[in-house]
Structures are given as structure tokens and as C-alpha cells.
Amino acid sequence: MLPGRVRLLLRALAALALVGCLGAPPAAAAPTRPEYIAQVDPICQDGQKEVEHLIRNYVPSLDAEKYKRAARILLRSLMRYEA
């Protein structure tokens, strides 16, 4: 017969091993790449429109050193993006 402490330790290890095997979530619970893309794609498309608008209007204003115009364009774009 094993001493009480050793027996208790073995039971605790067995319980931890059982919980580790049963309690771990399956790897299939994470979304697959196509599912992730389907979730994120609409968000990215909205952001892409704003980026294109900024590249078309904001960057040339900065290059021409028209800072007030660039600030107005940036603020309008940010307000549209938040809405």
C-alpha cells in the first residue's frame, strides 16, 4: 500500500491529466481562413474607400503645401469614417 501523501499526489496528477485532456478546446473551434475573410472583408472594403479618397485628395494637398485644405479633407474623411 502506498503512503497517504503519495496516493493523494497520484490522484491529483490523474485528475489534472483528465482535465487537461477533456478541458482543452478542439482546434476546430477557431475560424478557418475563408470564414475569417468572410467576416473581415466588408470591414476592409469600407476602409479601402476612405483610403482611396485620402490618397486622391489629401496627399496631393500636402504635396502642394495647402495645409488648410488638407486638414479639411482629413477631418471630413474622419467624420465619414466614424459614422
Q: What is the mean pLDDT of each run of 10 residues along the chain (83 residues)?
A: 65 67 59 85 76 82 86 82 62
Tell me the whole-structure pTM to 2 decimals.
Answer: 0.43
> What is the domain count for the chain?
1
What is the per-residue pLDDT for 1?
47
Angle at alpha carbon of residue 47, lines to 42 and 49, rounded to 5°: 100
pLDDT of residue 70: 86
> 57 Cβ partners below 8 Å, 6+ apart?
73
pLDDT at 44: 77
Rounded Cα distance, 20 and 72, in Å? 57
Query: What ranges in the chain are assigned the alpha helix state H?
Result: 4-23, 33-63, 67-82
36: domain range? 4-82
Contact partners, residue 65, CB within 8 Å, separation at least 6: none
Rounded to 5°, the CA angle 43-45-47 comes to: 75
